[in-house]
A and B are shown apart, each in its own frame.
Chain A
Amino acid sequence: MRNNQDMPTSDQINLHFRVLSDEKIERIYQATLECLERTGVNVMNAEARDLFTGAGAHVDGIRVRIPPHIVREALDSCPNGFTLWGRDGRTQMDVVPGQIHFGPGLTSSYFIDPYTGERQRSRRQDVATSARVIDALDNIDYLMGLALPEDVPPERAPVFEFAEMVMNSSKPLMAWGQSLQNMQDIYRIAVAAVGGEEHLRQRPIFALFAVGLGPLVIPDVIIANAFWAAEHDIPIVYHGPGVAGVSAPITGAGTLVVELAGSLAGLVAIQLKKPGAPVCIGSVPTPMDPRNGRPLYGSPELSLYSAALSELATYLDLPLMGTSGASEAKTVDLQAAIESTTQVIFSLLSRTTIPHDAGFLDCADIGSLEMLVMNDEIIAMARRLMRGIEVDDETLMLDLIDRVGPGGEFISQKETAKNFRKEIWLPRLMDRQPWNQWANSGSLSMLDRIQARIREILETHTPHPLPDGAVETITAILEQRQ
């Protein structure tokens, strides 16, 4: 049975919000089970097909139809989440329903250079720069590359990406493999970063980020890597993708079914390989742009569908990777702020466990530290909204109101001094000065202040040191196959 750990929630979400009623959730879940049994999934990996056959699924060539009882058994054997650790051995990120941790995205071809502001092809140093900045941000809890380096051997890019992340930050990581050899190298780098395999097994510092193909396909190498990860006690984030109107039906409900079915099919395969292996499901439920078929990261539908998926995951007592902090804008402009703020608020309201993609522009093709740092601020602000309004004898403050009386003032009262920091959120980057002070301090825009913050981090922040000899070991792993 389920090994529930029942961890406390770090975020206080006291606002009431639902996209789906209980009835709609049940309807979508039942439809998903029907889809898995009637339509099934294409499984491109022979070992996975054998596992499905062994479990009693209907396997016809590559098509695997999964009866509901197999899905339910897999959900029973899958824990309700996992903990990722920082390589410092202290930082702890609980990936369980109720917790919320934001992170960036990966595999963007372009990166905006924080000093020149130029959009250029992603380089290895961009991953290092991103990791260093993320290490210093309060509201970004885990790492992804935010740049897919092109100045390294292409087939080994995920390994170089992982190495740069782990050397420049001590926060938990998400890795992608692309090949089994890369997975093995990434694992060895992680072992070096924590000072031994036993440490890594006890306190994993990374999860495997695995993405199926939409609609309803389990790819060969992707699931092979996930099997390898499961056998090495590495948690797995498994996405069942689908772009509404392209690789999923045009309706929100139909898209949710295809994405949930795709995610659960992967989860079932992993549970059949290793019962009890921790899996976080996920998806990036974008609609298409009817103009050209591109997925729309900045759309309101993404926020809406992502929140609905989070409610479905909560119903299944599973963590969910959603999407938050991305925009279709090409620079960090007004559009970028509007789109990413909407996503952050919806992710928090719906308690999405690990929203990713913060820092993305242009259909997830540009990584931007400006966007990331702006979202760090947006998340902080939105978290204040989520706390809501506490109502009890202490907060109603009737004694104080009576003491001050009609026509009085509250600003010099000790209750005010004691509570204002708790009640009133204080921004780090937003400007609240009166005009004259703002003008006298340089008339800086939000973007100016964001850029100053990035430079300040890059010039002053030092990540937690790696164990002695780790850098040499990591360098040797990177160089050995060149």
Chain B
Amino acid sequence: MDLKPIYKNVIEGQADAVESGVKAALAAGVDAGVILNEALIAAMDEVGNRFEDGDFFVPEMLIAARAMQAGLALLKPHLTAIDVQAAGKIAIGTVKGDLHDIGKNLVAMMLEGAGFEIVDLGVDVTPEAFVKAVQEGANLIGMSALLTTTMSNMSATIEALKAAGLREQVKVMVGGAPVTEEFARSIGADAFAPDASSATRVARQLVA
């Protein structure tokens, strides 16, 4: 069976068409792992390439990721545990005192599209809430702040992770308008990403 239409519909962000295509392929006896690799993942790689080349923009990338997720949900019962292992589990939120969640939401959507499991802690997230998320299995933390007045709470979270003895088992990435590479280093974060698309690349490197 030709998997090209599924591949094409993922790239075009046609979730319904991807779902019906995946259903038809499964019914025709195509191996779920083959559908995953040759249609869904191959399509997202192409989407990534087009984004890097400047042909695709964020909204196109996000609807493609959503279409991919729709197909993946149908495949999951047919896949082995190894096939579906998430790229990582990231707990993400704006730091204590900061309510500006546009950037954070965008990063979460991009990471989800890249295969990460997202634990969205929302806005105004206390260091304790981040600690709890790590205790519950997150291996990556993403913190965001828009204003310098709340930025300092990023280091409070890192200190809380240390105090809980969890710092070694989790990677910490930070971002937001006032955050810089130097600031990230100074508070002992593992990585800094200047925008949502580079956040995906950085997160992949961190858990690789």
Contact = CB atoms under 8 A, between A and B. Distances in A.
Contact of A293 (B106, B150, B152): B106
Contacts of B54: 291
Contacts, number: 55
Contact of A365 (B58, B177, B197): B177
Given A154-B151, A292-B58, A292-B195, A363 B177 contact: yes
A50 interface: no
A154 B177 contact: no
A294 B196 CA distance: 10
A53 interface: no
B150 A246 contact: no
A157 B149 contact: yes
Contacts of B195: 292-294
Given A109-B148, A150-B148, A293 B178 contact: no
A178 B149 contact: yes
Contacts of A292: 58, 195-197
B59 interface: yes
Interface stretch (B73-81, B94-102, B129-137): B94-102
The residue in A122, A213, A250, A292 that gathers the most chain B C-beta atoms within 10 A of its C-beta is A292
Nearest to B179: A109
B102 A157 contact: no
A154 B101 CA distance: 20
B150 to A, nearest CB: 7
A246 B106 CA distance: 9
A290 B57 CA distance: 5
Nearest to B176: A109
A328 to B, nearest CB: 13
B149 A155 contact: yes
Contacts of A213: 99-101
Contacts of A363: 177
A154 B152 contact: yes
A348 B100 CA distance: 30
A247 B146 CA distance: 16
Contacts of A121: 148
B127 interface: no
Interface string A87-123: 0000000000000000000010100000000000110
Nearest to B198: A292
A221 to B, nearest CB: 8
A154 B59 CA distance: 35
Interface residues of B, number: 22
A363 B101 CA distance: 17
Contacts of A293: 58, 102-103, 106, 195-196
Interface in A168-226: 178, 213-214, 219
A378 interface: no
A354 to B, nearest CB: 22
The residue in B59, B148, B150, B196 that gathers the most chain A C-beta atoms within 10 A of its C-beta is B148
B99 A246 contact: no
Contacts of A109: 147-148, 177-178
The residue in A158, A214, A290, A365 that gathers the most chain B C-beta atoms within 10 A of its C-beta is A290
A288 to B, nearest CB: 8
A155 B148 CA distance: 9
A258 to B, nearest CB: 13
A288 B100 CA distance: 15
A243 B177 CA distance: 16
B102 A246 contact: yes
B148 A247 contact: no
Interface string A241-269: 00101110010000000000000000000
B155 to A, nearest CB: 11
Contacts of B103: 293
Contacts of A294: 195
A326 interface: no
Given A109-B178, A293-B58, A122 B102 contact: no
The residue in B102, B149, B197 that gathers the most chain A C-beta atoms within 10 A of its C-beta is B149
A291 B62 CA distance: 12
Contacts of B151: 154
Nearest to A222: B99
Nearest to A150: B148
A243 B105 CA distance: 13
A148 interface: yes
Interface string A157-172: 1100000000000000
Interface in B70-112: 97, 99-103, 106
B148 A122 contact: yes
A225 to B, nearest CB: 13
Contacts of A107: 147
Contacts of A158: 149
Contacts of B178: 109, 365
A291 B177 contact: no
B191 to A, nearest CB: 18
A293 B152 CA distance: 24
A154 B148 contact: yes
Given A107-B147, A178-B149, A365-B177, A245 B100 contact: no
Contacts of A245: 59
A349 B58 CA distance: 34
30 contacts: A107-B147, A109-B177, A109-B178, A121-B148, A148-B147, A148-B148, A150-B148, A154-B148, A154-B150, A154-B152, A155-B149, A157-B149, A178-B97, A178-B149, A213-B101, A219-B99, A246-B106, A247-B102, A250-B59, A288-B58, A290-B57, A290-B58, A291-B57, A291-B58, A292-B197, A293-B102, A294-B195, A363-B177, A365-B177, A365-B178
A-B pairs, top 3 by smallest CB distance, nearest first, are A290-B57, A109-B178, A154-B149
